[in-house]
């Protein structure tokens, strides 16, 4: 026997989380279905006029992505907390913030990434110009990763609470706002034909900051939740 | 220096010193508040554009300034509680959250009241107002998280983490909202950003800001004393105080 | 307190005190666990056994007075078995979140066979019973090389034969120089000497 070194352990956690997600495909499909359903609500509520929908499309797509991310964030650590795995993870002789990063990466791969990949279909249904699709995908890829990291903080802080589900929205929605603002702005810029690079660069900067700091907050939150 | 830190960690000492400060600070705060209001509301001349309605800034601006500072007080207390494991820092943080939330709410309310005569509508999605609204959510998040935990010690630590995360995010949120507003700013509403404030209006404003800082400190200390009594309700020194108050 | 074993203790708790809900669970509790010792923590329900175990293993880091020193990384088995229903027993051990070791298939098969799960290695864990989940968790004892074991109610939902086998394992671990701290309501029937820590009356050897 040999203890795995840190990189090996993180890869192992990532593989474990992904396998767990694959074994419950419906859990992976749920956020996508939710995304679809909410997108459908907007034409019904705002009216089906194509030009009107095109104006709102960037905001609608981003708000919906944000909500479906929020919906899944609560579950990142929940089942591991319930069956005692989280205790073992906290006690593991490995840096907890890296383990947390592996969990978040698995969460993003099974939600944000898929969402970004299917988003063009719904963008076309909302009459978003084809020229803006590339920007939409890139902004969602960068933005949902930030959302997953921030959501992880909320999940870590509320995982020990029985009624954490609603609380997590109050805790992390304010933190989501900058991502929403710049994500929408990037797509809007692409629609109007102005360069969207600067907005994507800001989203990238947010992602870098979140990767650096969020895992520390998640690790601290997990230790507190385990203790409570 | 170290003995001072040590004393800060002792609840009875903190309770006593907070009481001693309050004895002086409460009268000073009241005088400053009343003085600032009389000066600002009665003695200054009306604004040539907004008339008398501008006078609400003597409440609105101090509340907004101190509300933001309050979040930093809370977050720094949270950092101290996490790094040095000082339990009394938890007490400061717990005490600061509702006061800060109340001040943010006052700032929003007075902003809305001011908006009606100035812009003709109760609510404008102005960058500053939107930022204040988000600040209110951040405060409420901390309060709600604290209440959700049964174990109050864990609640303190969790809120410390959350307020630190909030502190890192506040500049980002403020800048984003500022930028968002400049992108969407409708031409009809121009905030009087370029106009300078006359000294005769500025001095009472500064007095009111100082008075609000003092008010915040008073509320913080009072809240802290209440929290200390509740936390330590089973110890000898609290029973002694309760006994003294009971006989009075 | 006995300090027959030489050398530094694997686990040392110094003047631990814990108050929960206004009730003092234990006060000024000091204990040193050396290699070759088996400690049983006794006490009625609510006496603070689990709280003490969580303090000893490091999950509880505040809310108590005193200090805990661990000179080795302990293996802690808690109330929950930490078994994922969607993974098979083999996968559960192979990818265990404790990050303790990387085990070969043979090692895992041997360990699972020792806890009576031969033939169940690759079935999804949700088809197993609660007792079998606990057994998957106990299989970690056969794989682990940790010298210090902290076991919170390891016999819950385990049948009589399983209890006997686990007790034999604990004895052989202690004989090999390891140390065990455990809580259990049942009296232990092991070949080695058992130190008892009663949370109501203090330390009894």
Domain boundaries, chain B: 24-42+54-187+198-229
Residue B1: the pLDDT is 56
Residues of C in contact with B151 (CB under 8 A): 63
List, for residues B37-85, the tens digit of each pLDDT value: 888 888 777 776 677 777 888 888 899 999 999 999 999 999 998 888 8
Residue B194: the pLDDT is 47
- Region A77-92: mean pLDDT is 90
Q: Given A153, A164, A224, which is nearest B165 (Cβ)? A: A153
Determine if residue C148 is left, alpha or beta; phi over 0 gives left, psi from -120 to 50 gives alpha, anything else beta. Answer: beta
Buried b (16+ CB within 10 A) or exposed e, B84-100: eebebbbbbbbbbbbbb
Which of B15-19, C44-48, C194-198 ranks highest by mean pLDDT? B15-19
DSSP string, B89-137: HHHHHHHHHHHHHHHHHHHHHHHHHHHHHHHSSS----HHHHHHHHHHH
Interface residue A218 vs chain B (CB under 8 A): no
Residue C3: the pLDDT is 42
What average pLDDT does chain A have? 91
Q: Which residue has the tokens 């000082």?
A: B86
State the nearest Cα–Cα gap between B49 and chain A, in angstroms: 34
Eight-state DSSP code of residue B47: B
Least-confidence region, from A26-35, A60-69, C3-12 = C3-12
Residue B5: the pLDDT is 64
CB contact under 8 A, A87 and C82: yes
CB contact under 8 A, C80 and A84: yes
How would residue B195 be classed by pLDDT, with cut points 50, 70 and 90? low
- Cα–Cα distance list, A77 to A13, A106, A225, B170, B203 (Å): 13, 12, 11, 26, 53
Residue B151: the pLDDT is 83
Distance, in Å, from the CA atom of C93 to the CA atom of A110, rounded to the nearest integer, reads 24
Residue B188: the pLDDT is 43
- Is 70 exceeded by the pLDDT of residue C205? no
Residue B66: the pLDDT is 93
- Is 70 exceeded by the pLDDT of residue A1? no
Residues of A in contact with B168 (CB under 8 A): 209, 213
List, for residues C120-159, the tens digit of each pLDDT value: 888 888 888 888 888 888 888 888 888 899 998 888 888 8
Q: Given B141, B149, B168, which is nearest A161 (Cβ)? A: B149
Asked whether the beta carbons of B66 and B212 are under 8 A apart, the reply is: yes
Residue C15: the pLDDT is 85
Q: What is the distance, to the nearest Å, from the Cα of residue B150 to the centroid of all Cα atoms in its chain?
A: 26
Task: Kindly state the percentage of chain B with pLDDT values over 90.
Answer: 38
List, for residues B123-133, the tens digit of each pLDDT value: 888 888 888 99
Which run of H or of E encompasses C24? strand C23-33
- Is 60 exceeded by the pLDDT of residue C191? yes
State the nearest Cα–Cα gap between B97 and chain A, in angstroms: 14
CB contact under 8 A, B173 and A227: no
Which pTM was predicted?
0.89
How would residue A182 be classed by pLDDT, with cut points 50, 70 and 90? very high
How would residue B182 be classed by pLDDT, with cut points 50, 70 and 90? confident
Residue A62: the pLDDT is 94
Interface residue B170 vs chain A (CB under 8 A): no
How would residue B189 be classed by pLDDT, with cut points 50, 70 and 90? very low
- In terms of pLDDT, which residue wins out, C187 or C179? C179
Residue C202: the pLDDT is 58
Q: Which residue has the tokens 């029985």?
A: A162
Which of B109-123, B161-175, B178-192, C81-95 ranks highest by mean pLDDT? B161-175
Provide the angle, in degrees to the nearest 10, between the axes of the packed helices B87-119 and B127-148.
150
Chain B residues within 8 angstroms (CB to CB) of chain C: 85, 151, 153-154, 157, 234
Chain B residue whose CA is closest to A219: B161
Chain A residue whose CA is closest to B159: A157
Residue C203: the pLDDT is 56
State the nearest Cα–Cα gap between C186 and chain A, in angstroms: 23
Distance, in Å, from the CA atom of C4 to the CA atom of C36, rounded to the nearest integer, reads 9
Residue A184: the pLDDT is 93
Count H helices, E strands: chain B?
A: 8, 0
Asked whether the beta carbons of A128 and A61 are under 8 A apart, the reply is: yes
Domain boundaries, chain A: 6-227
Residue B126: the pLDDT is 80
Residue C5: the pLDDT is 46
Task: Kindly state the percentage of chain C with pLDDT values over 90.
Answer: 1
What average pLDDT does chain C have? 83
Chain C residue whose CA is closest to B152: C63
- Is 90 exceeded by the pLDDT of residue A203? yes
Residue C31 bridge partners (DSSP):
C13
The full set of domains in chain C, from first to last, is 11-74+146-154+179-184+192-204 (3.40.50.300)
Asked whether the beta carbons of B33 and B25 are under 8 A apart, the reply is: no
Chain B residue whose CA is closest to C21: B151
CB contact under 8 A, A217 and B161: yes
Q: Given A15, A20, A91, which is nearest C59 (Cβ)? A: A91
Asked whether the beta carbons of C137 and C83 are under 8 A apart, the reply is: yes
Task: Kindly state the percentage of chain A with pLDDT values over 90.
Answer: 66
- Region A141-151: mean pLDDT is 95
How would residue C79 be classed by pLDDT, with cut points 50, 70 and 90? confident
CB contact under 8 A, A84 and C82: yes
CB contact under 8 A, B137 and A161: no
- Region A43-62: mean pLDDT is 88
Interface residue C21 vs chain B (CB under 8 A): no
Residue C4: the pLDDT is 45
- In terms of pLDDT, which residue wins out, C45 or B110? B110
Interface residue C61 vs chain B (CB under 8 A): no
- Region A29-57: mean pLDDT is 89
Distance, in Å, from the CA atom of B26 to the CA atom of B32, rounded to the nearest integer, reads 10
Residue C160: the pLDDT is 85
């Amino acid at each position: 026997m040999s203890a795995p070194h840190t990189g090996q352990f993180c890869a192992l956690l990532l593989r474990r989380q992904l396998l767990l997600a694959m074994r419950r495909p419906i859990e992976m499909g749920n956020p996508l279905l939710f995304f679809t359903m909410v997108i459908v609500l907007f034409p019904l509520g705002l009216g089906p006029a194509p030009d009107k929908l095109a104006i709102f499309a960037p905001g609608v797509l981003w708000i919906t992505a944000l909500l479906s991310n929020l919906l899944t964030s609560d579950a990142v650590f929940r089942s591991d907390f319930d069956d005692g795995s989280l205790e073992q993870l906290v006690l593991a002789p490995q840096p907890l913030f890296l383990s947390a990063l592996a969990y978040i990466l698995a969460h993003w791969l099974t939600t944000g990434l898929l969402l970004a990949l299917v988003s063009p279909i719904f963008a076309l249904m909302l009459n978003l110009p084809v020229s803006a699709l590339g920007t939409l995908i890139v902004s969602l890829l960068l933005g949902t990763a930030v959302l997953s990291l921030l959501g992880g903080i909320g999940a870590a802080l509320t995982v020990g609470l029985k009624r954490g589900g609603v609380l997590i929205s109050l805790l992390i929605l304010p933190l989501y706002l900058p991502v929403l603002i710049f994500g929408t702005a990037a797509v809007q810029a692409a629609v109007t034909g102005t360069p969207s690079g600067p907005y994507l660069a800001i989203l990238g900067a947010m992602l870098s900051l979140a990767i650096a700091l969020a895992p520390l907050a998640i690790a601290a939150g997990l230790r507190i939740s385990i203790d409570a | 220096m170290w003995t001072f830190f040590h004393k800060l960690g002792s609840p009875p000492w903190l309770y006593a010193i907070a009481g001693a400060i309050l004895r002086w600070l409460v009268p000073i705060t009241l005088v400053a508040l009343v003085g600032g209001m009389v000066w600002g509301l009665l003695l200054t001349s009306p604004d040539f554009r907004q008339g008398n309605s501008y006078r609400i800034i003597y409440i609105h601006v101090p509340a907004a300034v101190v509300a933001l500072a309050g979040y930093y007080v809370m977050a720094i207390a949270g950092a101290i509680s996490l790094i040095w494991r000082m339990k009394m820092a938890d007490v400061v943080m717990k005490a600061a959250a509702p006061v800060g939330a109340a001040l943010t709410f006052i700032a929003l309310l007075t902003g809305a009241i001011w908006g009606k005569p100035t812009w003709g509508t109760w609510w404008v999605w102005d960058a500053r107002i939107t930022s204040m609204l988000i600040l209110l959510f951040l405060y409420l998040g901390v309060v709600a998280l604290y209440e959700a935990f049964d174990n109050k010690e864990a609640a303190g630590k969790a809120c410390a983490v959350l307020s630190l995360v909030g502190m890192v995010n506040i500049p980002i949120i403020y800048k984003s909202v500022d930028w968002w507003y400049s992108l969407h700013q409708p031409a009809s509403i121009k905030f009087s950003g370029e106009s300078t404030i006359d000294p005769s209006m500025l001095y009472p404003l500064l007095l009111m800001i100082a008075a609000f800082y003092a008010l915040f400190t008073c509320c913080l200390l009072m809240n802290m004393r209440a929290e200390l009594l509740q936390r330590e309700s089973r110890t000898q020194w609290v029973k002694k105080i309760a006994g003294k108050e009971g006989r009075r | 307190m006995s300090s027959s074993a030489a050398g530094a203790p694997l686990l040392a708790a110094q003047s631990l005190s814990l108050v929960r809900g206004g009730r003092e669970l234990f006060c000024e509790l000091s204990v040193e666990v050396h290699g070759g010792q088996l400690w049983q923590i006794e006490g009625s329900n609510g006496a603070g056994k689990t709280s003490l175990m969580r303090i000893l293993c490091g999950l509880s880091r505040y809310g108590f007075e005193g200090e805990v020193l661990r000179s080795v990384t302990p293996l802690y088995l808690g109330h929950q078995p930490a078994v994922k229903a969607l993974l098979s027993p083999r996968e559960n051990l192979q990818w265990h979140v404790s990050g303790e070791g990387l085990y070969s298939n043979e090692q895992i098969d041997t360990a699972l066979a020792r806890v009576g799960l031969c033939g169940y290695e690759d079935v999804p864990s949700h088809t197993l019973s609660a007792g079998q989940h606990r057994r998957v968790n106990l299989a970690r004892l056969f794989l682990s090389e940790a010298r210090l074991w902290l076991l919170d109610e390891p016999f819950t939902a385990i049948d009589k034969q399983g209890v006997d086998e686990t007790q034999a394992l604990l004895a052989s671990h202690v004989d090999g120089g390891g140390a065990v701290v455990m809580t259990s309501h049942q009296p232990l029937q092991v070949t080695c000497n058992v130190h008892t820590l009663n949370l109501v009356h203090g330390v009894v050897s």
